[in-house]
Chain A
Amino acid sequence: MWFVDKSHPKVLVIRKFGEHFSLRLGIKALGVLLVLLIACILLIMLSLSIGSYQLSVQQVWQVVWGSLPSEHMNTVVWEFRFPRVLVAMLVGAMLALSGSALQSATGNSLADPSLVGISQGAGMAVVLLTVLLPQIVDVWRPWLAFLGALSVAAVIQGLSWSRQGKNSIRFVLMGIGVAAFINAITSALMTYGQIDQAMSALVWLSGSINGTDWMDVSLLATWFMVLLPFILVLSRSISTLKMGEVTAISLGVSLPQLRIGLVCLAVGLAAVATAVVGPLGFIGLIAPHIAQRITHSGTGLRLLITAVVGALIVALADLLGRILFEPIQIPAGLMTALIGVPMFIFLIRRSSTGRA
Chain B
Amino acid sequence: MKNREGTLYPRVNLKRHGRVGRSAGIVVMSWLLASMFVWHLALGATSLPMAAVYDALFHFDSSNFNHLIVKSIRLPRALVAVLVGASLSVAGALMQGVTRNPLAEPGILGLMAGASFAVVCAMTIFPSVATEFLPWIAALGALVTAIGVWFIAQSVPGGATPLALTLTGAAITAFLGTLISVMYLLSQDTFEQLRVWLTGSLAGRRLDDVTIALPAILAMLAFAMSLSRNVTVLAMGDSMAKGIGANTAWLKGQVLMCVVILTACSVSLAGPLGFVGLVVPHTVRLFVGADYRWVVPYSALFGAIYLLGVDAIARVLIRPEEISTGIITALVGGPLFIYLVRKRAH
State which of A196-204, A247-255, A263-271 sits at the interface with chain B. A196-204
Chain A residues with a Cβ under 8 A of chain B: 110, 114-115, 159-160, 162, 164, 167, 169-170, 172-174, 176-181, 183-185, 187-188, 190-191, 195, 198-199, 202-203, 205-207, 281-282, 328, 330-331, 333-334, 337, 340-341, 344-345, 348-356
Given A184-B327, A330-B182, A349-B155, 12 other A-B residues pairs in contact with their CB atoms under 8 A: A162-B342, A164-B345, A173-B103, A177-B338, A177-B341, A178-B334, A202-B181, A206-B182, A334-B178, A337-B178, A348-B164, A354-B157
Which residues from chain A contact B175 at a C-beta distance below 8 Å?
281, 337, 340-341
Q: How far is the CA of A349 from the CA of B235 in the complex (A)?
A: 24
Q: How far is the CA of A178 from the CA of B170 in the complex (A)?
A: 11
Q: A159-B342, A202-B191 are in contact. Are A353 and B185 (CB under 8 A)?
A: no
Q: Is B182 in contact with A334, judged by CB distance below 8 angstroms?
A: yes
**Nearest Cβ distance between residue A281 and chain B, in whole angstroms?**
5
Q: Is A180 in contact with B170, judged by CB distance below 8 angstroms?
A: yes
Q: How far is the CA of A297 from the CA of B271 in the complex (A)?
A: 49
Q: A115-B174, A181-B337, A199-B188 are in contact. Are A353 and B198 (CB under 8 A)?
A: no
Q: Is B107 in contact with A176, judged by CB distance below 8 angstroms?
A: no
Q: A348-B152, A353-B163 are in contact. Are A178 and B186 (CB under 8 A)?
A: no
**Nearest Cβ distance between residue B180 and chain A, in whole angstroms?**
9
Chain B residues with a Cβ under 8 A of chain A: 103, 107-108, 152-153, 155-164, 166-168, 170-175, 177-179, 181-182, 184-186, 188, 191-192, 195-196, 198-201, 274-275, 323-324, 326-327, 329-331, 333-334, 337-338, 341-342, 344-346
Which residues from chain B contact A160 at a C-beta distance below 8 Å?
341-342
Q: Is B172 in contact with A341, judged by CB distance below 8 angstroms?
A: yes
Dominant SS at the A interface? helix
Q: A169-B163, A349-B152 are in contact. Are A115 and B170 (CB under 8 A)?
A: yes
Q: Is B156 in contact with A331, judged by CB distance below 8 angstroms?
A: no
7 A-B Cβ contacts within 8 A?
A160-B341, A170-B342, A173-B162, A177-B103, A341-B172, A344-B171, A345-B152
Q: A185-B327, A188-B327, A281-B178 are in contact. Are A354 and B184 (CB under 8 A)?
A: no
**Nearest Cβ distance between residue A272 and chain B, in whole angstroms?**
20
Q: Is A187 in contact with B198, judged by CB distance below 8 angstroms?
A: yes
Q: Is A198 in contact with B195, judged by CB distance below 8 angstroms?
A: yes
Q: Is A354 in contact with B167, judged by CB distance below 8 angstroms?
A: no
Q: Which of B153, B170, B195, B274 has the most CB of A within 10 A?
A: B170
Which residues from chain B contact A331 at a C-beta distance below 8 Å?
178, 181-182, 185
Q: How far is the CA of A93 from the CA of B164 in the complex (A)?
A: 28
Q: A114-B174, A173-B163 are in contact. Are A181 and B179 (CB under 8 A)?
A: no
Q: Which of B160, B179, B330, B345 has a CB less than 8 Å from the CB of A162?
A: B345
> Chain B: which residue is nearest A117 at the CB level?
B170
Q: Is A195 in contact with B192, judged by CB distance below 8 angstroms?
A: yes
Which residues from chain B contact A191 at a C-beta distance below 8 Å?
195-196, 199, 201, 324
Q: Is B330 in contact with A176, judged by CB distance below 8 angstroms?
A: no
> Chain A: which residue is nearest B157 at the CB level?
A354
Q: How far is the CA of A100 from the CA of B330 in the complex (A)?
A: 31
Q: Is B108 in contact with A190, judged by CB distance below 8 angstroms?
A: no
Which residues from chain A contact B174 at a C-beta distance below 8 Å?
114-115, 281-282, 337
Q: Which of A167, A172, A185, A203 has a CB less than 8 Å from the CB of B167?
A: A172
Which residues from chain B contact A177 at a C-beta distance below 8 Å?
103, 108, 334, 337-338, 341
**Nearest Cβ distance between residue B199 and chain A, in whole angstroms?**
4
Which residues from chain B contact A356 at a C-beta distance below 8 Å?
158, 163
Q: Which of B108, B159, B179, B185 has a CB less than 8 Å from the CB of A203?
A: B185
Q: Is A354 in contact with B191, judged by CB distance below 8 angstroms?
A: no
Q: How far is the CA of A172 from the CA of B177 in the complex (A)?
A: 19
**Nearest Cβ distance between residue A89 and chain B, in whole angstroms?**
21
Which residues from chain A contact B155 at a C-beta distance below 8 Å?
349
Q: A330-B182, A349-B155 are in contact. Are A184 and B200 (CB under 8 A)?
A: yes
Q: How far is the CA of A330 from the CA of B179 in the complex (A)?
A: 11
Which residues from chain A contact B166 at a C-beta distance below 8 Å?
173, 176
Q: How far is the CA of A207 from the CA of B160 in the complex (A)?
A: 31
Which residues from chain A contact B162 at a C-beta distance below 8 Å?
173
Q: How far is the CA of A195 from the CA of B189 in the complex (A)?
A: 10
Which residues from chain B contact A328 at a C-beta distance below 8 Å?
186
**Nearest Cβ distance between residue A343 and chain B, in whole angstroms?**
10
> Chain A: which residue is nearest B197 at the CB level?
A191
Q: How far is the CA of A202 from the CA of B330 in the complex (A)?
A: 21
**Nearest Cβ distance between residue B105 and chain A, in whole angstroms?**
9
Q: How far is the CA of A164 from the CA of B344 in the complex (A)?
A: 13
Q: How far is the CA of A130 from the CA of B64 in the complex (A)?
A: 42
Q: Which of A115, A172, A184, A354 has the most CB of B within 10 A?
A: A184
Which residues from chain B contact A178 at a C-beta distance below 8 Å?
334, 338
Q: How far is the CA of A202 from the CA of B181 in the complex (A)?
A: 7
Q: How far is the CA of A203 from the CA of B186 in the complex (A)?
A: 11
Q: How far is the CA of A312 from the CA of B192 in the complex (A)?
A: 36
Which residues from chain B contact A340 at a C-beta distance below 8 Å?
175
Q: Which of B181, B324, B333, B345 has a CB less than 8 Å from the CB of A188?
A: B324
Q: Is A115 in contact with B167, judged by CB distance below 8 angstroms?
A: yes
> Chain A: which residue is nearest B105 at the CB level?
A180
> Chain B: which residue is nearest A346 at the CB level?
B152
Q: Which of B161, B188, B191, B275 has a CB less than 8 Å from the CB of A184?
A: B275
**Nearest Cβ distance between residue B46 and chain A, in whole angstroms?**
23
Which residues from chain B contact A172 at a C-beta distance below 8 Å?
163, 167
Which residues from chain A contact B157 at a C-beta distance below 8 Å?
349-352, 354-355
Q: Is B178 in contact with A170, judged by CB distance below 8 angstroms?
A: no
The 9 nearest A-B residue pairs measured at CB? A354-B158, A181-B334, A184-B330, A177-B337, A206-B181, A188-B324, A188-B199, A337-B178, A355-B158
**Nearest Cβ distance between residue B322 and chain A, in whole angstroms?**
10
Q: How far is the CA of A172 from the CA of B345 in the complex (A)?
A: 12
Q: How far is the CA of A191 from the CA of B195 in the complex (A)?
A: 6
Which residues from chain B contact A354 at a C-beta distance below 8 Å?
156-161, 163-164
